[in-house]
Amino acid sequence: MKLLPILFIFIAVSACDGYRILGAFPFKGKSHFMMFEKLMKGLAKKGHQVDVISSFPQKKPYPNYTDLAIIPAGLTFLNNFTYELMNTLVKESVTHAVATIAGNDVCERLAIPEIQELVRNPPKDPPYDLVIIEIFGAHCYAALGYVLKVPVVGASSAVLYPWANDMIGNPENIAIAPNNLLPYPRRMNFWQRMWNFVHAMHNKWYFNYLTAKQTEIMRRHLGPEIPDIRELENNISMILANSHLSMNGVKPITPALIEVGGLHVQTADEMQEDAVPLPASLEKWMNESTDGFLYFSFGSMVKIESFPANHLKIFYNSLGKIAPVRVLMKVAEPSALPPGLPKNIYSLPWIPQVEVLKHPNIKAFITHGGLMGTQESIHYGVPMIGVPLFGDQFINVDIYAANNIAVRLDVDTLTEEAMDRAINDILHDPKYRETLQRISKKFRDRPLSPLNTAIYWIEYIIKHGGDSLRSPAMDLPWWQLELLDIYVFLLLATILSVYLLIAVPRLLYTLLNSSHAVAPKKKVS
């Protein structure tokens, strides 16, 4: 019995060491939230008290984790992207969709009662120490940090979009790094570098133009004293980005950009308590796939069954030919598939992806190129066939194809012959698996896991202040940051020097000649 008071004291002391952290992830994108959920659960497991605003509440209680507010459904993305909707988004500007659908529209959710109560009566026992928001479209949620008077940390589930670099003074590396809206190789030619520059500058301006409306939205819901949206963005202390040098290349970055690519892919120790049990029927099917199997999924949003009949016919014919190799296909509504599904294809509406990618019998992953799923594939060394559909999927798949860990197919020009060739290459050419094994080792070889890296730097910001990683670049106007004033000064100084080097001798020569001309002649006696 004497141990109980000691245990109680130990728990109380441990709790006092924890911080209280608010996470605001209002965009209803399941693939995005995978990263943020793992981050918040990791913080909770470390002993911090986390409160979360999202559209994805926990199905069962999790220690130190509270669903503070559940964002009501607007446009639902989970298993809701039909082929027609996908084509509409592709034809429209990605920047426009992010700034409006995932930005301004999401900012209107600041009006929900739970957030209004938080703003009017912020907790004081204990108060918040930090706010974490998603860096995507709705940066208006940084206003919660202003209201609560605490630092704000950003988290991006993708490589930084062009408009995010300025928030922390991160060098954009236009000459060596394509922005993630362009499917360009790392070694760009002149015209590609030209378009990379113009494209990045235009999308940055366009995003800022469209999201300027967020200032009015914040002030309408949170009060007239809320600063301008650009000022709030520039006060973000740090951004955690879902990127890593093994895939995204070596480039200079500010210390306020922390690369935590693959944070959602847990290590063996991290997975023990969150492991998703495999359905017995699926586990049996994979174990019995002694000739191997392909995993076919277009992610949590896209409905494969909504693709045109000619595309589905190509899938059926190509995948049916590889029997006895089997295919596991994620289909939201299997009953909506046309008849004639080959016997070697097993379809399910939900599949625990990590458990599948870890299975020893898997041969390859047919994917749309979403960053979360492809990082899982890289982590577990599974080569890919990429069929990019929208957003950053094009550049993701291009990077993987350039590194010989994937074969790319284009959905608009897809033929049965092209798919046959891609499947044959990925199954029988050893270079894909061998290359991926090397890259997978680089991807996993880090001093700390991505999750623990993120936790370390979040705690660093809380302990040392929101400006502890602030770049001096944030205090300079763009023309000083690009050294234009120095270039102009040096150019003018050079012109002046050249002018003086030419003009002074000429002037001296002229004066000397004129003095000789006017000098009096000596009289001859």
Consecutive H or E run containing 385 = strand 384-386
Residue 59 — φ and ψ, nearest 5°?
-80, -25
On whether the CB atoms of residues 141 and 118 are closer than 8 A, the answer is no
On whether the CB atoms of residues 317 and 302 are closer than 8 A, the answer is no
- Vertex 358 angle, CA 78 and 435, to 5°: 105
425/203 Cα distance (integer angstroms): 37
The tens-digit pLDDT sequence of the chain (525 residues) is 444 444 443 444 444 479 999 999 999 888 899 999 999 999 999 999 999 999 999 999 999 999 999 988 665 555 556 666 666 665 567 899 899 999 999 999 999 999 999 999 999 999 999 999 999 999 999 999 999 999 999 999 999 999 999 999 999 888 888 888 888 877 889 999 999 999 999 999 999 999 999 999 999 999 999 999 999 999 999 999 999 998 888 888 999 999 999 999 876 555 555 666 788 999 999 999 999 999 999 887 788 888 889 999 999 999 999 999 999 999 888 888 889 999 999 999 888 899 999 999 999 999 999 999 999 999 999 999 999 988 788 889 999 999 999 999 998 899 999 999 999 999 999 999 999 999 999 999 999 999 999 999 999 999 999 999 999 999 888 889 889 999 999 999 999 999 999 998 888 888 888 876 665 655 555
Residue from 323, 328, 330 nearest 345 by CA: 328
On whether the CB atoms of residues 384 and 367 are closer than 8 A, the answer is yes
Global pTM reads 0.87
209/462 Cα distance (integer angstroms): 32
> Cα 489 from chain centroid?
39
